[in-house]
């Protein structure tokens, strides 16, 4: 029997909720959800995951809708301070892994400044869940010796359509773009201009690991915004994803879901 400690009074936990499927939560994350007093989730955290929380937990959504925050980052900091100082155990629940494009650095600095004890609980980041779902390796030793995780979303005052690097795009690399925006034609044009071949495979996955997952397989030169499903979306550039394999995977999942019902 594995012994997992309950959420401790006055502590804050920066917890990764994974890409959306509750089955991909770590044991530590699932147990903390059951025992924490206060939960501050992002909007991308699924209802299925939140349903695992204690029925007495105070759940306060602090995410964004269409990119517009319902609460500022400073406001989130104040909630962490308020509830932890009152002796509550607090989960700051983030989609994916809290240390991958989750603004955890700002929250860690705030918690240290105010001497609030905290713990970081890793989650499965969306890139890895998507690769597993598509049965496509991100680091094929014959073609991809580098893995680049990037985002097209930047802090206020730092405007950029795509990730940037010095010189041409690195050879033998797989690129994964989180929060790519909705103008995929412009994004693809910028990536091609950076040195990536137009015929490079580009796979957009919408609402990864959920029952609403959509997969669009293309190349950079054929990638079209109208073909990509609703947000959130993650874009994989490099791994060769077979359309027939994607179709077979989707059919297999549908059959398994029907059997479960």
pLDDT at position 163, please?
Answer: 66
Instruction: Say yes or no: 21 and 110 in one domain.
Output: yes
Within a domain: 238: yes
Residue tagged active-site, from 42, 94, 97, 190? 42
What is the pTM for the complete model shown? 0.89
- Which of 121, 152, 178 terminates a domain? The answer is 121
Instruction: Say yes or no: 80 and 101 in one domain.
Output: yes
pLDDT at position 67, please?
Answer: 55
Within a domain: 256: no
pLDDT in tens, 224-240: 999 999 999 999 998 88
Question: Does 64 participate in catalysis according to the annotation?
Answer: yes
Alpha carbon distance 34, 36 (integer Å)? 6
- Which of 103, 121, 139 terminates a domain? The answer is 121
Residue tagged active-site, from 6, 64, 146, 227? 64
Instruction: Say yes or no: 94 and 134 in one domain.
Output: no
What CATH number is associated with residue 219? 3.30.950.10
pLDDT at position 214, please?
Answer: 92
Instruction: Say yes or no: 101 and 181 in one domain.
Output: no
- Which of 91, 121, 151 terminates a domain? The answer is 121
Question: Does 240 participate in catalysis according to the annotation?
Answer: no
Instruction: Say yes or no: 133 and 231 in one domain.
Output: yes
Name the stretches of the chain with pLDDT < 70. 64-69, 153-167, 256-257, 261
What is the domain range of residue 20?
12-121
Instruction: Say yes or no: 58 and 101 in one domain.
Output: yes
pLDDT at position 114, please?
Answer: 98
Question: Where are the alpha helices (H) located in the chain, listed in sequence order?
Answer: 27-35, 47-50, 73-85, 104-113, 126-134, 184-193, 243-260
pLDDT at position 159, please?
Answer: 45
Within a domain: 255: no
What CATH number is associated with residue 43? 3.40.1010.10
Instruction: Say yes or no: 141 and 239 in one domain.
Output: yes
Query: For residue 196, with 0-12 CB atoms within 10 Å meaning exposed, 13-18 middle and 19 or more buried, which class applies?
Result: buried
Distances (CA, A) of 16 to 12, 87, 92, 173, 225: 13, 22, 9, 26, 29
């Amino acid at each position: 029997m594995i012994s997992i400690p309950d959420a401790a009074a006055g502590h804050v936990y920066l917890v990764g909720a994974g890409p959306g499927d509750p089955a991909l939560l770590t044991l530590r994350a699932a147990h903390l959800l059951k025992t924490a007093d206060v939960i501050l989730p992002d909007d991308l955290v699924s209802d299925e995951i939140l349903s695992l929380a204690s029925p007495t937990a105070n759940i306060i959504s602090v995410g964004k809708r269409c990119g517009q925050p319902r609460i500022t980052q400073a406001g989130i900091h104040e909630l962490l301070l308020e509830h932890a100082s009152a002796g509550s155990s607090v989960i700051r629940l983030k989609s994916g892994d809290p240390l991958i494009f989750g603004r955890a650095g700002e929250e860690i600095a705030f918690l240290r400044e105010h001497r609030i004890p905290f713990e970081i609980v890793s989650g499965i980041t969306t890139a890895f869940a998507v690769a597993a779902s598509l049965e496509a390796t991100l680091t094929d030793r014959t073609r991809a010796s580098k893995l680049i995780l990037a985002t097209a979303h930047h802090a206020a005052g730092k405007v950029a359509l795509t990730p940037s690097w010095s010189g041409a795009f690195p050879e033998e690399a797989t690129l994964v773009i989180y929060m790519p925006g909705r103008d995929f034609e412009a994004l693809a044009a910028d990536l091609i201009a950076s040195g990536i071949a137009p015929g490079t495979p580009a796979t957009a996955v919408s609402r990864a690991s959920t029952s609403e997952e959509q997969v669009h397989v293309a190349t950079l030169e054929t990638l079209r915004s109208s073909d990509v499903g609703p947000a959130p979306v993650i874009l994989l550039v490099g791994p060769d994803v077979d359309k027939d394999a994607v179709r077979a995977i989707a059919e297999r999942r549908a059959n398994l879901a029907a059997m479960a019902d």
